[in-house]
Structure 1
Amino acid sequence: MANTSSPVQSQYLHEMGIDQWELIHPERLTGYQADLTVLPEGCKLLLVSDEKPEGKLAEMFERVLKSIKLDLSQALYIPSDQFTSVESNRVDWVWFAGCSPSIELDAKILQSPLLSDIDGNNQHRRDLWQQICAYD
């Protein structure tokens, strides 16, 4: 567990003899419901993957975005274990790279291997392109 209160709050609690802690795994508590993270207004595509697009992979990711008429400012990356804590009903596209959708969504869904597996693999790129074209 980790202490997460502000310095002023910590001081008050310390003076009263009260320790404040944050649970590492609050989802393990019965009845726990996490607050959903609201996506930025302009977010049109959510990339859900355990591999963050950086360097060469970010360039490939940007090319895919351009193919669906989006740019990097309209896309957001989140690790797959955080997907259920995001309010995803506002995005047009959700791209699951290297993981599977865990809930039913109203958005256009792309499902592929990890970005590193797509890069340089013509069959994976073709499969992704066919998914994109299916929504046109």
Structure 2
Amino acid sequence: MNDLQRLKEMGISVWEVRRADVFPNQPQQTITLPVGCKLLLICDNQPEEQDAWLFGKILSSMKLTPEDALRLPADALLAITDHNLEWCWFAGCDGDAPHGTKKLTSPSLSLLQHDQNAKKALWHQIKTL
């Protein structure tokens, strides 16, 4: 069994090589998002349990589910190919949203957890876009 088959069996459909510089002769990696992905959360750290709860609540307010969203680090944005995204949310970082998406910005989820003004600002962005 090869590595790709193992990843597929584990339900992992998106991954990245952490040290791409070790493989200088490899072609540029591209990321094809799942067809159902409507929101891309861009943050450099994997959300912790409390952060994931808040993220789920925000998704719910947008009439989205966790299955409609995917998290990627900021440096992976350039590798995205075709997509069906509606939203690109930068949490604790900034960048250019993929073409045709609505861009949201906020502090990281862990900071957003305790900052009512930042939550209000995020909600205002969601409602006005």
Q: TM-score category by the smaller chain? A: 0.7 to 0.9
Which consecutive segments of 4 or more residues in structure 1 shift more than 3 A?
Answer: 26-29
Out of 14, 25, 32, the residue aligned to residue 21 of structure 2 is: 25
Look up the equivalent residue of 2:89 and give its one-letter code: W
TM-score by length of 2: 0.76
Quick one: percent identity of the two aligned structures? 33
Higher relative contact order (CA 8 A, sep 6+): 2
Could you tell me which runs of 5 or more consecutive residues in structure 1 were left unpaired when the two chains were aligned. 1-5, 7-22
Question: SS where residue 20 of structure 2 aligns?
Answer: coil
Paired residue for 1:113?
107
**Which residue of structure 2 aligns with residue 75 of structure 1?**
69
Query: Contact 1:48–1:77 at 8 Å: present in 2 too?
Result: yes
Shift of residue 33, structure 1, vs aligned partner: 6.3
- The reply on whether 1:130 has 2:127 as its aligned counterpart is no
Which residue number corresponds to residue 87 of structure 1?
81
Q: What is the number of equivalent residue pairs in this alignment?
A: 113
Alpha-carbon distance in 2 for matches of 1:73, 1:128: 21
RMSD, aligned CA: 2.5
* Pairwise CA distance, 1:24: 3.4
Contact between 1:50 and 1:80, CA under 8 Å: does it hold in 2?
yes
Aligned-pair distance for 1:51? 2.2
SS in 2 for 1:106: coil
Q: Following superposition of structure 1 onto structure 2, how do residues 14-53 of structure 1 map, counting pairs within 5 Å?
A: 24-25=20-21, 34-53=28-47
C-alpha change, 1:110 and 1:28, in structure 2 (3 Å) is: farther
Q: Deviation at 1:93?
A: 0.6
Partners of 1:99 and 1:28 in 2: CA distance: 27
